[in-house]
Structure 1
Amino acid sequence: MPDHDKIRNHVQLNRVFGNLLHDPNLLHLNRRSVSSAFAVGLFIAFVPVPFQMLLAAAAAIIVRCNLPLAVALVWITNPFTMGPIFFFSYKVGTWFLGTPIRAVQFAPSWEWFSSELGVIWQPLLLGSFVVGLVSAALGYGVIRLLWRLRLRNYLRDRRLRFSLRRRDQDANNVDK
């Protein structure tokens, strides 16, 4: 984890976020900060904009969740997965809007962005928003559930160890 004092005392970050940087949840791992970081990171991962890491960092600071985890989760959409993920989001958007899926050949050029993106931006944006919301809600819920199950198992094992230790102590006291 990064040094909390270094982040808290960063001049530019302090100008933008002020006292929000003083929240301990930004770098701590607890149920609330981790589940919220999953929600933030997964939602931002499906937003089709550049600089997703900066957006996730700002959202994590505002929501007061684990900053490194939220930033790391946006890498779900990386150069290898971006195409299939955004095509799926586009398909979801066309389904919601009731429009046909256009056969679009991607070409990383200004001409493509100016012509094709102007046609597909509505279903892409809507689909990205829907898929992002669903994945954020699922990520949040699954992490909360897994955390609760882990805690329940830990407490059950601790009670079992305590009862075994007590039984052994009682057996030793009877023998004396």
Structure 2
Amino acid sequence: MKKWLHRRLPTPEKIMAQQWLGPARPYLARPELWYINRKGMALGLAVGLFIGFAIPIAQIALASLAAIWFRHNLPVAAAATLITNPFTVPPIYFSAYQLGGWMLPDLKMYEHWLANLGAPFVVGLLTIAIVSSLLGYFGLHAAWKGSVVLRWRARQRNKQASCETM
């Protein structure tokens, strides 16, 4: 995965050469924003998912600012916000409202339903945002570790096979 990302992501030098960045250039020059490592990518994924679900506007900009502030992988944080798009927003928002209604059962949903629409929606959306960011964070850690273990075992098998043929 790391090699695949290295081939596809632009280099920090190419990004710094963009004139339109203007005053943001010194902040984007930080190397930790571009490192492809387990911790930075997991944090980027978690923050990007949280912002993608919890905040309906300016998601990529806010995720990029969060990446700069918390010093984690900026491309992953920005890309993770794309989980919400015109195709996924209606089912996500409907699910958030249903989840919030389930979590707030005392709220009389049918009496003045328009006035009560906000609380279940916000509670459900924040729950989805928090759970998805935690799942993304720990899921990426587990997948990365699993990938390392599989590569290590393959190297050990290859090493044993080459020793046996000699």
- Aligned-pair CA distance for 1:49: 2.2
Structure 1 contact 46–86 (Cα < 8 Å) conserved: no
Indicate the SS of the match to 2:36.
coil
Tell me, in whole angstroms, the C-alpha distance in 2 between the residues paired with 1:141 and 1:11.
Answer: 35
Correspondences of 1:81-96 after superposition (within 5 Å) = 81-96=88-103
- Aligned-pair CA distance for 1:139: 0.9
**Structure number, greater radius of gyration:** 1
Structure 1: unaligned runs, 5 residues or longer:
104-115, 170-176
Tell me, in whole angstroms, the C-alpha distance in 2 between the residues paired with 1:101 and 1:84.
Answer: 19
User: Which residue, 135, 138, 141 being the options, matches 2:135?
Assistant: 138
Question: 1:60 corresponds to which residue?
Answer: 67
Tell me, in whole angstroms, the C-alpha distance in 1 between the residues paired with 2:37 and 2:88.
Answer: 29
User: Which residue, 155, 161, 164 being the options, matches 1:164?
Assistant: 161
Kindly report structure 1 stretches of 4+ aligned residues shifted beyond 4 Å.
6-9, 100-103
Alignment length (residue pairs): 152
Identity in percent: 33
Deviations 1:14-62 (Å, cap 9, x if unpaired)? 5xxx65x343232232111221122111111111421111111111222
Question: 2:56 corresponds to which residue?
Answer: 49
Tell me, in whole angstroms, the C-alpha distance in 2 between the residues paired with 1:75 and 1:100.
Answer: 34
Question: 1:174 corresponds to which residue?
Answer: none
Question: 1:151 corresponds to which residue?
Answer: 148
Structure 2 contact 51–63 (Cα < 8 Å) conserved: yes
User: Which residue, 2, 13, 16 being the options, matches 2:10?
Assistant: 2
Tell me, in whole angstroms, the C-alpha distance in 2 between the residues paired with 1:133 and 1:165.
Answer: 48
**Normalised by the size of structure 2, how large is the TM-score?**
0.79
Tell me, in whole angstroms, the C-alpha distance in 1 between the residues paired with 2:108 and 2:15.
Answer: 47
Tell me, in whole angstroms, the C-alpha distance in 2 between the residues paired with 1:92 and 1:155.
Answer: 42
User: Which residue, 24, 36, 47 being the options, matches 1:40?
Assistant: 47
**Normalised by the size of structure 1, how large is the TM-score?**
0.75
Question: 2:24 corresponds to which residue?
Answer: 13
Indicate the SS of the match to 2:117.
helix
Question: 2:83 corresponds to which residue?
Answer: 76
Tell me, in whole angstroms, the C-alpha distance in 1 between the residues paired with 2:71 and 2:64.
Answer: 10
CA RMSD in angstroms comes to: 2.3
- Aligned-pair CA distance for 1:68: 1.5
Structure 2 contact 109–116 (Cα < 8 Å) conserved: no
Tell me, in whole angstroms, the C-alpha distance in 1 between the residues paired with 2:110 and 2:137.
Answer: 33
